[in-house]
Structure 1
């Protein structure tokens, strides 16, 4: 008798939603492993990337820009501030809000994370040619953009 261990039924092997989910699980494991080496997590990376690209922002603005829930932004900012990767200061125009700014140490840390995440992306996309990788990423971006309008996109 032929072994069928690890072989899903044909209808499951062709469901885009299932395939995307399985790739997402692999991608998340690779990313989490890469970030763990630095004591960082995905939310922290997203916040540092937003701050580096767009400049200082309130915690609420960071949450909206990255799609991270407000309470998770607060926890991640607390962790980043404890490591001196961001500065948190009162907003001069509204003392109830904090403005978060990436520090030089945060910029250096982000560069390290970019390198580690680049390696994780290489591992994830290893079976694809450079052209297939570009097309795959473009198609994924198109799906995310389409579903973002329906309120179904997540960071």
Structure 2
């Protein structure tokens, strides 16, 4: 039996297209002066202040990885951390005014990249793609549990 063609292997196709998409998004964010993880962190913070612990959970990051990202963002003046007055052990993280300006550049850069990447898809097809990607199992623990 002949091996499957790469286009017939969904995992390979998704991985390859994902690498190309990732490269395009990284290039767009570089123009905005940001790394993808920094941009994603700012985007997570956009709705409002959040505890550092909750942010790590939302981003599925090890807390030490998040600390490194927040250190970069804070040294660039894009976010700030402060002690929670109700619980001094907790840090609250929020976007600064400069961070909000960066979010505008991120939105513009990513929007342009997405129009280029997905411009041949209708809005309904883009919604369908989102829905399908949401169902792709990438969490090994969920996969092992049969979820």
Q: TM-score range by the shorter chain?
A: 0.7 to 0.9
2:8 matches 1:33: no
Q: What residue ranges of structure 1 are gaps of 5+ in the alignment?
A: 1-8
Structure 1 residue 150 corresponds to structure 2 residue 129? no
Query: TM-score, normalized by length of structure 2?
Result: 0.83
2:16 equivalent to 1:22: yes
1:46 aligned onto 2:40 = yes
What is residue 63 of structure 1 aligned with on the other side?
56
Unaligned runs of 5+ in 2: none
Give the TM-score, by structure 1 length.
0.79
State which drifts further: 19-28 or 103-112. Answer: 103-112
CA distance in 2, matches of 1:148, 1:10: 25
Between the two proteins, the alignment pairs up a number of residues equal to 142
Q: 2:96 aligns with which of 99, 103, 114?
A: 103
Separation (CA, whole Å) in 1 of partners of 2:142 and 2:72: 32
CA contact (8 A) 1:58 1:99 kept: yes
CA spacing shift, 1:130–1:94, aligned 2, 3 Å:
closer
Q: Distance in 2 between matches of 1:71 and 1:57?
A: 17
